[in-house]
């Protein structure tokens, strides 16, 4: 069946997930091609950053698993804030922290420093929602997690372009 995505063998928690369609490339508008017009950072742009992140255990993207959706991205360019809510495929998903961490790292690497970012679980979709949210909000814990070679390896795999 579906091969493991880096978590080493073993049974998958959700072996047969529903697969959602990928949205296409964002069409380029005339305004975007105009040198003079500034394009503000919007929800779609943030969504494009995170939709291609690979799931840690399926050879699928977070978008295909409906873990991230554009409607769950809130962004304000002038106030420099981003909030992303993600929905684990099952309420007991043990990958939730890892998925959140991948999203967080992707945003850290891709957004200007001025942004304050908040990554959390869609309310009511996970058993240990608060614990996970707390970990993701804690800067020091995120930094410490990235010092861990094994965790960093998995996160990097999630962020690598799909071959």
Partner 1 sequence: MPSKCLEMDTSVGFGVTYATDDTRSSLENPEPRTRARGIQLLSQVLLQCHSLLLEKEVVHLILFYENRLKDHHLVIPSVLQGLRALSLCVALPPGLAVSVLKAIFQEVHVQSLPQVDRHTVYSIITNFMRTREEELKGLGADFTFGFIQVMDGEKDPRNLLVAFRIVHDLISRDYSLGPFVEELFEVTSCYFPIDFTPPPNDPHGIQREDLILSLRAVLASTPRFAEFLLPLLIEKVDSEILSAKLDSLQTLNACCAVYGQKELKDFLPSLWASIRREVFQTASERVEAEGLAALNSLTACLSRSVLRADAEDLLDSFLSNILQDCRHHLCEPDMKLVWPSAKLLQAAAGASARACDHITSNVLPLLLEQFHKHTQSNQRRTILEMILGFLKLQQKWSYEDRDERPLSGFKDQLCSLVFMALTNPSTQLQLVGIRTLTVLGAQPDLLSPGDLELAVGHLYRLSFLEEDSLSCRVAALEASGILATLYPVAFSSHLVPKLAEELCIEESDLARGDGPTKCSRHLRCLQALSAISTHPSIVKETLPLLLQHLCHMNKGNTVAGTSEVIAVCQSLQQVAEKCQRDPESCWYFHQTAIPCLLALAVQASMPEKEHSVLKKVLLEDEVLAAMVSVIGTATTHLSPDLAAQSVAHIVPLFLDGNISFLPENSFPGRFQPFQDGSSGQRRLVALLMAFVCSLPRTVEIPQLNQLMRELLELSCCHSCPFSSTAAAKCFAGLLNKHPAGQQLDEFLQLAVDKVEAGLSSGPCRSQAFTLLLWVTKALVLRYHPLSSCLTDRLMGLLSDPELGPAAADGFSLLMSDCTDVLTRAGHAEVRIMFRQRFFTDNVPALVRGFHAAPQDVKPNYLKGLSHVLNKLPKPVLLPELPTLLSLLLEALSCPDSVVQLSTLSCLQPLLLEAPQVMSLHIDTLVTKFLNLSSSPSMAVRIAALQCMHALTRLPTPVLLPYKPQVIRALARPLDDKKRLVRKEAVSARGEWFLLGSPGS
- Please say which residue, 69 or 121, places its beta carbon nearer to partner 1: 69
Give the integer Cα–Cα distance in Å for 77 and 7. 36
Applying CB under 8 A, does 154 fall inside the site for partner 1? yes
Which of 8, 11, 71, 109 binds partner 1 (CB under 8 A)? It is 109
- Name the nearest CA neighbour of 145 among 153, 119, 111: 153
- Please say which residue, 4 or 6, places its beta carbon nearer to partner 1: 6
Which of 124, 149, 162, 163 binds partner 1 (CB under 8 A)? It is 149
- Please say which residue, 13 or 45, places its beta carbon nearer to partner 1: 45
Strand (E) or helix (H) holding 141 = helix 139-147
Applying CB under 8 A, does 95 fall inside the site for partner 1? no
Asked whether 112 and 78 are in contact (CB, 8 A), the reply is no
Asked whether 114 and 80 are in contact (CB, 8 A), the reply is yes
- In the beta sheet, which residues pair with residue 120? 85
Residues 22-81 that bind partner 1 (CB under 8 A): 28, 32-33, 35, 38-39, 41, 45, 48-49
Give the count of beta carbons closer than 10 Å to the beta carbon of residue 32: 10
Applying CB under 8 A, does 21 fall inside the site for partner 1? yes
- Please say which residue, 94 or 160, places its beta carbon nearer to partner 1: 160
3-class secondary-structure state, position 15:
coil
Asked whether 51 and 62 are in contact (CB, 8 A), the reply is yes
Cβ 159 to partner 1 shortest distance, Å: 7
Applying CB under 8 A, does 137 fall inside the site for partner 1? no
Residue that has been written with the tokens 């420099």 in this structure: 80
Residues that bind partner 1 (CB under 8 A): 1, 6, 16, 21, 28, 32-33, 35, 38-39, 41, 45, 48-49, 106, 109-114, 149-150, 152-157, 159-160
């Amino acid at each position: 069946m579906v091969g493991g995505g880096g978590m080493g063998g073993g049974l998958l928690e959700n072996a047969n997930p529903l697969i959602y369609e990928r949205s296409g490339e964002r069409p380029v508008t005339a305004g975007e091609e105009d040198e003079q017009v500034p394009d503000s950072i919007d929800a779609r742009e943030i969504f494009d950053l995170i939709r291609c992140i690979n799931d840690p255990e399926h050879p699928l993207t977070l978008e295909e698993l409906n873990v991230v959706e554009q409607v769950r991205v809130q962004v304000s360019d002038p106030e420099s804030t981003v909030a992303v809510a993600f929905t684990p495929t099952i309420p007991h998903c043990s990958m939730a922290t890892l998925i959140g961490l991948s999203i967080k790292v992707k945003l850290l690497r891709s957004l200007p420093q001025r942004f304050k970012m908040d990554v959390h679980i869609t309310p009511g979709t996970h058993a240990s929602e608060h614990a996970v949210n707390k970990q993701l909000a804690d800067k020091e814990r995120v930094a410490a997690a990235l010092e861990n070679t094994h965790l960093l390896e998995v996160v990097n795999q999630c962020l690598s372009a799909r071959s």
